[in-house]
Amino acid sequence: MPMLPLGAVLLPTAVMPLQLFEARYRHMIVDVLAADSEFGVVLIRRGSEVGGGDLRYDVATRA
């Protein structure tokens, strides 16, 4: 399942507006929507949302 690392938590049944600036995440969402699939939102433990190299928590929420 593709993961979207964020500095915010998505709670089950919640709605989260997304502003995707990085091309890799825009492509990921386009692919997920085209396949009528899902992705995960995972909280970043250390690092940044931009540029990669982040450390993520082990638990995510399916979106």
User: Domain containing 11: what range?
Assistant: 3-62
Number of domains in the chain: 1
CATH of the domain at 39: 2.30.130.40
State the pairing for strand pair 3-6/40-46: parallel
Residue 10 has phi, psi (to 5 degrees) of -100, 115
Reading the block at residue 20, the tokens are 């995707």
Question: Sign of torsion, CA 58 44 14 17?
Answer: negative
CA atoms of 29 and 44, how far apart (whole Å): 19
Residue 51 reports pLDDT greater than 80: no
**SS3 category, 31:** helix
Residue 49 reports pLDDT greater than 80: no
pLDDT digits (tens, 9 = 90+) for 2-37: 999 999 999 999 999 999 989 999 999 999 999 999
